[in-house]
Amino acid sequence: MEPEEQVRLPDVADIDEQLTRFWREASTDDRAVVRACTHNLIVACEDDDDLADATNSIARLTEQHPGRALVVSTVDPEGKSETSPGLDAFVSTHCHRAAEGRLVCSEQVTLKARGDASAMLVPETLLQLLEGNCPVYAWWRRSRFSADPLWSRIAKVADRCIVNSSTADDPLWVLQDLAALATNDGWDCAPGDLAWVRLEAWRQVIAQEFDPEFALALLDGISEVEIEVGGPASKRGTTAAAAYLVGWLASRLGWSLDEDRGVWRRPGGNEVEVRLEAAPVVNARLVNAVKITAMSTSGREVLFVAERTAPGEDVIRLSVDTEGTCPLPYTVKIERQEDAPLLSGELARGSRDPVFLASLDAAARWAAAREIAP
């Protein structure tokens, strides 16, 4: 990765001129520079530290998906300092060597809004800076969603809106906002959540446990689900990862939700007890274990367990335990994924995922019902 070049602009109107100058000066007779742009990526950051982390992810992302990144950060959003409202713009490039030796570069425009300039100046500036004839993706990294004045304005111009609900202060509100976005006919934005994508390995190993014919027959007899997971939680301890896993199981198995009690029921009417436990994990947002109890038609209880071999380890031990048998556990190694590769996969998807949308709807409804249940 080539080091990025960054220029601070005193006037936002100079951005296009500066970008043009970059490309003109970068290409010489002995060095060919390819400007590549397959998309627009609007990134809403929380603060300067978050902006730095986002910039690192964008640099990695552009190796697979070159494009124009428009990054927004807010300084003193509540106007507590004496700094007058305004907008500072910075232009930078992310370059890498392609296989054939050519230098391929992408653009990043960083907008730092002071005071309430975020709501006044940022939306119009973003519209002016979007690269034409390219899809628009939004990566929302802030902890607030519908309460943030930029949320709806960015969502309305984006083809896809990608969040990370596992970083939110209260995942309940994020899930509800995202579910509302998915069903809003006035917005074309297809939602996505990195917290959901990060659970792919867990969904695969859980499904794998029920692949054998004897286990497949037990899906209709699931009576208990216990999930150990960390991360920011609602007042009742619901985390984004837990809600997604429960929502996924419920939507795939046809469970119905008793919203007055926050309880799931199987198609036959029997209740499914769901328990959430705080996980002793190194990374506070990781799932540590999923334990599913099912009852066979003969009344025999079967316990399916998927758990890390140790907190923070990337190896999951799978076992099936039933009375009168000796469980033979086996292990599966899962890949530890950072935001950049997860985001890359979401950009490549480019359309609505029906399994995610069904799981999101179930997760949001269950999380809300669980908060108000007696």
pLDDT-derived band at 278 (thresholds 50, 70, 90) equals confident
Residue with token string 């689900």: 225
Q: Which of 158, 190, 224 corresponds to the end of one domain?
A: 158
Structural domain boundaries enclosing 365: 200-372
Residue 30 has pLDDT above 70, yes or no: no
CA 171 to chain centre: 12
Asked whether the CA dihedral 180, 183, 186, 189 is positive or negative, the reply is positive
Tell me the CATH number at 368.
3.30.360
C-beta atoms surrounding 177 within 10 Å: 25
The string of DSSP codes covering 208-256 is: HHT-SHHHHTTGGGEEEEEEEE-S---TT---HHHHHHHHHHHHHHT-E
Rounded to an integer, what distance in angstroms lies between the CA atom of residue 311 and that of residue 274? 22
DSSP annotation of 130: P
Is the same domain home to 135 and 206?
A: no
pTM summary value:
0.87
What pLDDT is recorded for position 328?
76
Under a CB-based contact definition with an 8 Å cutoff, are residues 271 and 263 in contact?
yes
Count of domains forming the chain: 2
Same domain, 63 and 211: no
Q: Looking at the structure, tell me whether residues 255 and 359 fall in a common domain.
A: yes
Residue 216, pLDDT score:
92
Closest CA to 292 of 224, 245, 210, 246: 224
Question: What span, in angstroms and rounded, lies between the C-alpha atoms of 201 and 240?
Answer: 16
Structural domain contains residue 176: no
Using the predicted structure, report yes or no on whether residue 9 has a pLDDT greater than 50.
Answer: no
Q: Is the dihedral of CA 141, 142, 143, 144 positive or negative?
A: negative
Shared domain check, 211 and 151: no
Judgement on whether residues 103 and 31 belong to the same structural domain of the protein = yes
Residue 151 has pLDDT above 70, yes or no: yes
Instruction: Supply the DSSP string of 326-365, one letter for each residue.
Output: ----EEEE-----HHHHHHHHHHH-S--HHHHHHHHHHHH
DSSP string, 54-96: HHHHHHHHTTTS--EEEEEEEESTT--SSPPPEEEEEEEEEEE
Is 41 contained in some domain?
Answer: yes
- Position 301 pLDDT exceeds 70: yes
Confidence of residue 101 (pLDDT cuts 50, 70, 90): low
Examine residue 291 and state whether it is found in any structural domain, yes or no: yes
- Is the per-residue pLDDT at 238 higher than 50? yes
Q: Are residues 208 and 280 in the same domain?
A: yes
Same domain flag for 228 and 99? no
Do the beta carbons of residue 155 and residue 59 sit within 8 Å? no
15, containing H or E segment: helix 15-26
What share of the chain in percent tops pLDDT 70?
87
The total number of residues written for the chain in this structure: 374
pLDDT at residue 234 is higher than 50: yes
